[in-house]
Amino acid sequence: MANKSLQDLSKDMRKIDIAILSTHTDGGAIAARPVSNNGDVDYDGDSYYFTWEESRMVSDIERDPKVGLSFTGGKTFMVAVEGEAELIRDKARFQKHWTKSLDKWFEQGIDTPGVVMIKVHAKRVHWWDGMEDGEVKVS
């Protein structure tokens, strides 16, 4: 296993926009869907995504906050995150992670009814880059 810090991984992940967020459904299955980090790429172990209150993601997280994130960048660089999700409904906290491109999906910006922010705090980050791989534990 090679050594990379969370800061090293942040540099490697900077150009990756789309992740796959996996949750546990009420029946115990795993549900996965693409999410965008909207350019919020200074990775410190926390990721932020916006969605609708009525989405399956939200109900899955309310029931079980343990989630997974998968990132793929370039030909051989991949990251798998095991983390815990938190649902945030506070507009003041939205503001820090809001980008203008989100207005396409949420037409009234942070005031759009039914918008919720998902914060995923990593517990373990496993990465692969060609023949090298490693793991970073996050507290």
Query: What are 15-37's pLDDT values in tens digits?
Result: 888 999 999 999 989 999 999 88
- Dihedral Cα 54, 27, 19, 114, nearest 10 deg: 10
What is the β-pairing status of strands 30-36 and 115-129? unpaired
Does residue 73 register a pLDDT over 90?
no
pLDDT on residue 1: 55
What is the arithmetic mean of pLDDT over 131-139? Answer: 89
Lowest mean pLDDT among 11-15, 48-52, 80-84: 11-15
- Record the pTM: 0.91
